[in-house]
Amino acid sequence: MRDQRSGAPASGGYSIFHDTMADMTYPEIAAAAESGAAVLWGLGVIEQHGPHLPLATDVYVPYAVLRRVKALLAESGIASLIMPPFYWGVNHVTGRFPGSFEIRPAVMSELIIDVLGSLKKDGFADVFCLSGHGDAMHNNALIDGVRRGSAAAGINGAMVVSPGFAKRLGFDPADRNVLVTAPEGGTPARHPDIHAGEWETSLLLGYFPDVVRQEILPTLTSTEFSAADLDEWRKGQEHAKRMTPQGYIGDPAVANVAYGLEIVERQAAVIADAIAGRLGEAR
Ligand SMILES: [Zn+2]
């Protein structure tokens, strides 16, 4: 879609800076901090997502969810800003595939610490981080950065997680740097659908259809992984490459726009509720 007058991409287009702090000016940032706006930060990764989805899938997903969270918070009278997305995350599991960049966890944690320090310097008090990527090493680096960065800066930083995700990662729900949402609801998939499968493909079809290789979708068969298959895949590297030569787990061929929109609505609703609850306790 192009702007008719200038020929430039229409507002919003595919810029992941759209509606984020990156497209604001410094006086606008200062005014937002002054008004007590909360900061929302999606942290994804550049990683292979099968032959049909772009490497930045895990960046697009939290960006789409947080834009909806921001709108829901505004409806409750809570001001928020979206950070420019973080995308140099940790890929242990799929590191053997082309396009999966392997960043050291310490580099990710240290960068988060510096960014939280900058937000504090600018007068922000509350930062909510949403991971776009399931790899345990990525999420452990994320929570480590949030914990140490929050303590060092004296800022209220929290990683927002679903109950299932918190359990898999071994996070303590009583930890102030963790914010566990209510369950999202919805029908669980019959087989694991966790990487470039039905839900991620649906979400990208709903929000960023131009980057989905739609002609490939009908050729992709459902992986129908067992729990044991998934454990083997999560060992990562050559194990993941062997278990999923095409790089996806799930059923991308059944993806559809309606499901993509539904996922964002469900996730954004529980995340906005959890954030409003946490801010309500503090104020
Ligand atoms: Zn993904």
Q: Please check whether residue 84 lies inside any domain of the structure.
A: yes
Centroid of ligand 1 to alpha carbon of 2 (angstroms) = 28
Q: Please check whether residue 34 lies inside any domain of the structure.
A: yes
Residues 20-59: pLDDT tens digits?
999 999 999 999 999 999 999 999 999 999 999 999 999 9
Q: How many angstroms separate the CA atoms of 257 and 236, rounded?
A: 30
Cβ–Cβ under 8 Å, residues 268 and 65: yes
Centroid of ligand 1 to alpha carbon of 247 (angstroms) = 11
Residues 55-72: pLDDT tens digits?
999 999 999 999 999 999
Q: Please check whether residue 177 lies inside any domain of the structure.
A: yes
Tokens 């009583």 label which residue? 174
Q: Please check whether residue 274 lies inside any domain of the structure.
A: yes
Residues 104-151: pLDDT tens digits?
999 999 999 999 999 999 999 999 999 999 999 999 999 999 999 999
Cβ–Cβ under 8 Å, residues 85 and 39: no
Arithmetic mean of pLDDT over the chain: 93
Q: Please check whether residue 53 lies inside any domain of the structure.
A: yes
Mean pLDDT of the 233-254 span: 93
Centroid of ligand 1 to alpha carbon of 87 (angstroms) = 12
pTM of this structure:
0.93
Mean pLDDT of the 226-230 span: 91
Measure CA 107 to chain center.
19
Is residue 190 over pLDDT 90?
Answer: no
Centroid of ligand 1 to alpha carbon of 156 (angstroms) = 27
Centroid of ligand 1 to alpha carbon of 46 (angstroms) = 9
Mean pLDDT of the 180-186 span: 92
Mean pLDDT of the 167-191 span: 91
pLDDT band with cut points at 50, 70 and 90 for residue 186 = confident
pLDDT at residue number 283: 64
Q: Please check whether residue 202 lies inside any domain of the structure.
A: no
Centroid of ligand 1 to alpha carbon of 138 (angstroms) = 12
pLDDT at residue number 13: 56
Centroid of ligand 1 to alpha carbon of 50 (angstroms) = 10
Centroid of ligand 1 to alpha carbon of 121 (angstroms) = 32
Question: For the chain, what is the domain count?
Answer: 1
Is residue 14 over pLDDT 80?
Answer: no
Q: How many angstroms separate the CA atoms of 3 and 223, rounded?
A: 41
CATH code of the domain in which 164 resides: 3.40.50.10310
Q: Please check whether residue 16 lies inside any domain of the structure.
A: no
Residues 199-215: pLDDT tens digits?
999 999 999 999 999 99
pLDDT band with cut points at 50, 70 and 90 for residue 4 = very low
Q: Please check whether residue 221 lies inside any domain of the structure.
A: no
56: containing domain: 21-184+265-282
Q: How many angstroms separate the CA atoms of 265 and 272, rounded?
A: 10
Is residue 81 over pLDDT 80?
Answer: yes
pLDDT at residue number 83: 97
Centroid of ligand 1 to alpha carbon of 85 (angstroms) = 15
